[in-house]
Structure 1
Amino acid sequence: MKIRLTAALGLSAALLLSACAANEGTTTPDTTDSATADSSAVSTLEGTLAGKGSSAMNSAQTTWIAKFQDANPGMTVNYAPDGSGAGREAFMGAGVDFAGSDRAFTLEENVAGASSLCADDSIAYNLPIYVSPIAVIFNLEGVTELNLNPDTLAGIFNGSITKWNDPGIVATNEGVELPDMDITPVHRSDDSGTTENFTDYLNKTAPSVWTNEADGEWTYEGGEAAKGTSGVVAAVTGGTGTIGYADSSQAGELAVAKIGDDNFYGPTAEDAAAAVDVSPMEEGREANDLAINLDRSAEGYGIVLVAYGMACAEYADPAKAELVKAYLGYVASEQGQLDAAEGAGSAPLAPALRDKVLAAIDSIK
């Protein structure tokens, strides 16, 4: 694998994505240039990267890969949206060069030498790169708007509320004709960071109803199971009286519920960003291991996720490290975040968080 990072400085700083771009992590890039701002400058970055993980950020990864490869014709980046659990497992087994996950590696998982992809004394960095609301999608003939409070939402998904005309649903939907029809809740069948964020919200906002802890694997019986975000969307779309949860970028034409107590909110990138802004970093981690403890209590739409790019603090292969730094440096840059917002409807990282992420990427060896 040949790595040459001395050319291409004439391209937009955010789309060059060389090691130099990562080195400028604390500087706000100039976003006025487009991907084709200087077509005479040719990147000489060459190589292949493999990633796997979160299906929630698949739309964003598709956008990032296209932009990155356009700016760096010698690069090939592959991303398999097989789910957060599959991504973490592949990273630990050195089956990929980076992973995507809607939850961070825990402190117990993230110990030095856990992955042979990394140097013997290296941990993995959890790098926030994607912030998005999780939409509660439903398919109920004649109903296009639906308000649900956390207790009712939890009851639907734990199986204690089984009819669409249940009094709990009727109470928050005055004037809506709700049928005497069975509810079919659809959940993920795979180990999913989206599921973990969804159940974390239910556990924190409706603890008397959702008594199980947050988990990436579904812990209640009943309902219909589907693999991946696309599987949940397909099951809700193809059913009648169905309801599920998916990254809002992939809700498509399905109806989306509003969630709240006295006030009801639909999923927006702005609310997702606001929730992250008021959330602290998890305690007990190294400075560049940027796991976030999401605060679900903020006003607005609280069912949000942060997806992480997972990379070694130090790679066993230094050449691979430079490729990962180049790609993730673009992904986390101001331009990369704006590209994802346009392509996937996600919330760009706030400048302060973005600078922390870029500094962490810059430190990768």
Structure 2
Amino acid sequence: MKLTRKTGLRSLAVGAIAVSSALVLTACGSDNNSGSSSPSGGSSNAAASIKCGSKANLLASGSTAQKNAMDVWVKNYMQACSGSQINYKPTGSGAGVTEFLQGSTAFAGSDSALKPDEVTKSKSVCKNGGQGIDLPMVGGPIAVGYNLPGVDNLVLDAPTLAKIFDSKIAKWDDPAIKKLNPSAKLPSSSIQAFHRSDESGTTDNFTKYLKGAAASDWSYSGGKAWQAKNGQSAPQSSGVAAQVKQTAGAIGYFELSYATASNIPTVKIDTGASAPVAASSDAASKMIADAKVVGTGNDMALKLNYATKADGAYPLTLVTYEIACDKGNKPETLDATKAFLNYVASDDGQKGLSGQGYAPLPTEIATKVRSTISSLS
């Protein structure tokens, strides 16, 4: 089935609007988020609909952004499938992909699609002519949090953010910031810009946005590792959020749940639309609705339009993928991998995301994902 931007992805906006407006992309695990809710969704109805695979000790790792969703999925699956063991380690997208390419996990969670060289490396792990493929599962916004007492409703645009995180704008009362916030009482204090110290899909998506929407002001190639000079760093989204929370004049990027949990104000982004856009699940859904499927074959990597000017579309948005072999999976874990991922992509699996702050997959994409999972060998 061929997916198009108009038919396959636009339905996400409709599906996500039905989700509570309080929904925000959550993350925890090693990235502990005290504001996250405990796993839920382990209802008897969900358990009854799960088709169990063979009993196996299934190891997986990667994205911290999907950890709360994984808590729900793992809890429900293991309750329904007695004897099955699923261990998902929230090591971060970079570490998760590395472990998958080393053959030590059945699948990986990543906030970035596989790069060409990673696809090539996967061919040595995926036997019988197979390779790693990207299966989108969840999406949501990346917030830019700040600590600037007395300043509410801060508005920034892509060029200004690029210059801030590249240390080219160093003071809060810089003319570029003043122009976007004419009524704000901006201090003359220094900007303390924080980025991730570890390899991160959040960093990859943040820098993709800067490169996609402000190419003339962001000269770096991007990736999971931070490339710009200067600035300050902290490990994991929890570390960046903590530094922003406690440091006057700070600014940093992390999943929206961290801002919500710690009461950190977030930047509204001027995209050129009729009004600046705040980070929210609905606004992220409108962004994803403008995406294109660019993967070939069974790969479902998406390309987001970071320069979007669509009203209400929040451009700093990520999609988390499960990465698995299309062919040549390990025989001892293949059946369990297919059964678990089929549940994850099922209607019940996606409905379980609502209380955890994620936007469920649109129907057409979920159908394609389930078909691809069923074909894994």
- The interval holding the TM-score normalised by the smaller chain is 0.7 to 0.9
Total equivalences in the alignment:
329
The whole-number CA distance in structure 2 between the counterparts of 1:335 and 1:178 is 48
Say which SS state the counterpart of residue 255 (structure 1) adopts. Answer: coil
Following TM superposition, by how much is the alpha carbon of 1:247 offset from its aligned partner in structure 2, in angstroms?
1.7
Following TM superposition, by how much is the alpha carbon of 1:211 offset from its aligned partner in structure 2, in angstroms?
2.0
The whole-number CA distance in structure 2 between the counterparts of 1:241 and 1:70 is 47
Segments of 5+ residues of structure 1 without an aligned counterpart are: 1-32
Q: Which residue of 2 aligns with 1:282?
A: 294
Say which SS state the counterpart of residue 149 (structure 2) adopts. Answer: coil
Amino acid at match of 2:362: A
- Is the contact between residue 93 and residue 115 of structure 1 (CA under 8 Å) also seen in structure 2? no
Q: Does the alignment pair 1:358 with 2:366?
A: no
Say which SS state the counterpart of residue 90 (structure 1) adopts. Answer: helix
Q: Which residue of 2 aligns with 1:158?
A: 166
Q: Does the alignment pair 1:250 with 2:263?
A: no
Q: 1:320 to 1:247 in 2, by over 3 A?
A: same
Q: Structure 1 stretch 322-331 or stretch 274-283: which is displaced more? A: 274-283
Q: Does the alignment pair 1:293 with 2:306?
A: no
Q: 1:232 to 1:42 in 2, by over 3 A?
A: closer
- Is the contact between residue 133 and residue 248 of structure 1 (CA under 8 Å) also seen in structure 2? yes
Q: 1:136 to 1:77 in 2, by over 3 A?
A: same
RMSD of the TM alignment (CA)? 2.3
Amino acid at match of 1:56: A
Amino acid at match of 2:331: P
Amino acid at match of 2:302: I
What do the CA deviations read for 1:155-191 (whole angstroms, capped 9, x no partner)?
1111111111212112222322222211111111122
Q: Which residue of 1 aligns with 2:110?
A: 101
Q: 1:361 to 1:316 in 2, by over 3 A?
A: closer
Q: Does the alignment pair 1:321 with 2:334?
A: yes
Q: Does the alignment pair 1:50 with 2:59?
A: yes
Could you state the TM-score of these two structures normalised by the residue count of structure 2?
0.81
What do the CA deviations read for 1:284-305 (whole angstroms, capped 9, x no partner)?
x2x2111111122331211111
The whole-number CA distance in structure 2 between the counterparts of 1:144 and 1:67 is 41
Q: Which residue of 2 aligns with 1:24?
A: none
- Is the contact between residue 134 and residue 198 of structure 1 (CA under 8 Å) also seen in structure 2? yes
Q: Does the alignment pair 1:273 with 2:282?
A: no
Could you state the TM-score of these two structures normalised by the residue count of structure 1?
0.83
Q: Structure 1 stretch 71-80 or stretch 153-162: which is displaced more? A: 71-80
Q: 1:295 to 1:40 in 2, by over 3 A?
A: closer
The whole-number CA distance in structure 1 between the counterparts of 2:209 and 2:327 is 34
Q: Which residue of 1 aligns with 2:192?
A: 184
The whole-number CA distance in structure 2 between the counterparts of 1:203 and 1:112 is 26
Q: Does the alignment pair 1:204 with 2:212?
A: yes
Segments of 5+ residues of structure 2 without an aligned counterpart are: 1-40
Which of 300, 303, 325 in structure 2 is aligned with 1:312?
325
- Is the contact between residue 111 and residue 205 of structure 2 (CA under 8 Å) also seen in structure 1? yes
The whole-number CA distance in structure 1 between the counterparts of 2:321 and 2:332 is 22
Amino acid at match of 1:306: V
Q: 1:244 to 1:115 in 2, by over 3 A?
A: farther
Q: Which residue of 2 aligns with 1:264?
A: 276
Following TM superposition, by how much is the alpha carbon of 1:58 offset from its aligned partner in structure 2, in angstroms?
2.0
- Is the contact between residue 293 and residue 303 of structure 2 (CA under 8 Å) also seen in structure 1? yes
Which of 340, 347, 352 in structure 1 is aligned with 2:359?
347
Q: 1:91 to 1:38 in 2, by over 3 A?
A: closer
Kindly, what percent of the aligned residue pairs are identical? 35
What do the CA deviations read for 1:304-338 (whole angstroms, capped 9, x no partner)?
11111011112443231111111111222222222
Q: 1:39 to 1:194 in 2, by over 3 A?
A: closer
Amino acid at match of 2:338: K
Which of 211, 221, 226 in structure 2 is aligned with 1:213?
221
Amino acid at match of 1:53: G
Q: Does the alignment pair 1:333 with 2:342?
A: no
Say which SS state the counterpart of residue 242 (structure 2) adopts. Answer: helix
Say which SS state the counterpart of residue 111 (structure 1) adopts. Answer: helix
Amino acid at match of 2:325: C
What do the CA deviations read for 1:41-73 (whole angstroms, capped 9, x no partner)?
998653221111112222222232223223334
Q: Which residue of 2 aligns with 1:302?
A: 315
- Is the contact between residue 101 and residue 121 of structure 2 (CA under 8 Å) also seen in structure 1? no
Amino acid at match of 1:274: K
Q: Structure 1 stretch 72-81 or stretch 36-45: which is displaced more? A: 36-45
Following TM superposition, by how much is the alpha carbon of 1:115 offset from its aligned partner in structure 2, in angstroms?
4.2
Q: 1:206 to 1:72 in 2, by over 3 A?
A: same
- Is the contact between residue 291 and residue 303 of structure 2 (CA under 8 Å) also seen in structure 1? yes
The whole-number CA distance in structure 2 between the counterparts of 1:141 and 1:161 is 19
The whole-number CA distance in structure 2 between the counterparts of 1:41 and 1:135 is 35
Q: Structure 1 stretch 234-243 or stretch 304-313: which is displaced more? A: 234-243
Which of 168, 180, 200 in structure 2 is aligned with 1:172?
180
